Amino acid sequence: MGVNSLTPQELHHYRAKLEALMGRLSDTAARLESEVGRPTGWEGMTSESPDREAVSTSTEGEEEVAQSAMLNETQLLTETRAALTRLDEGKFSRCEGCDRTIGKARLDAVPYARLCTRCAHAENPRQTREAV
């Protein structure tokens, strides 16, 4: 394993960035989890008054979107926690594919990055072009 090329100040900056991201992701994941648990279809029907027809409070499509978003937020939360662990272990900013330094521009854009741009591109060429 190579030596971390980031200064203590830079490591502190990335820790703060990851911790803030983890807080936002935790809040969003909790909100989405409550949305996914909300009844849909006839279970989610409400009526404002006895003589009015019931109106659906949620649709199955909305629930699927919320589930997908929750899975995405949960995955990002997992990646963020793993990045904090790598930071604690002195492995942050080292590519898990080639052990080269992950560039600061990539870490600024994706602070939980496990792979350098080259290895990320080799793993998933289409997604890398869109994300970086």
Residues paired with residue 56 on neighbouring β-strands, in sequence order: 45
Token reading at 10: 């830079």
Closest CA to 101 of 91, 87, 110, 111: 91
Q: Residue 1's pLDDT is what? A: 42
Q: Write down the pLDDT at residue 31.
A: 76
Say yes or no to pLDDT of 69 above 60.
Answer: yes
CA angle 47, 53, 31 (to 5 degrees): 45
In a 3-state reduction of DSSP, which class is residue 94? strand
pLDDT category of residue 101 using cuts at 50, 70 and 90: very high
Cα 126 from Cα 33, distance rounded (Å): 30
pLDDT score at 3? 53
Q: What is the pLDDT of residue 47?
A: 46
Tokens of 76: 């990002």
Q: Which pTM does this prediction carry?
A: 0.68
Who wins on pLDDT, 125 or 36?
A: 125
Q: Which domains does the chain have, with CATH numbers?
A: 8-131 (1.20.120.910)
pLDDT band at 40 (very low <50, low <70, confident <90, very high): low
pLDDT tens string 4-35? 689 999 999 999 999 999 999 888 877 777 76
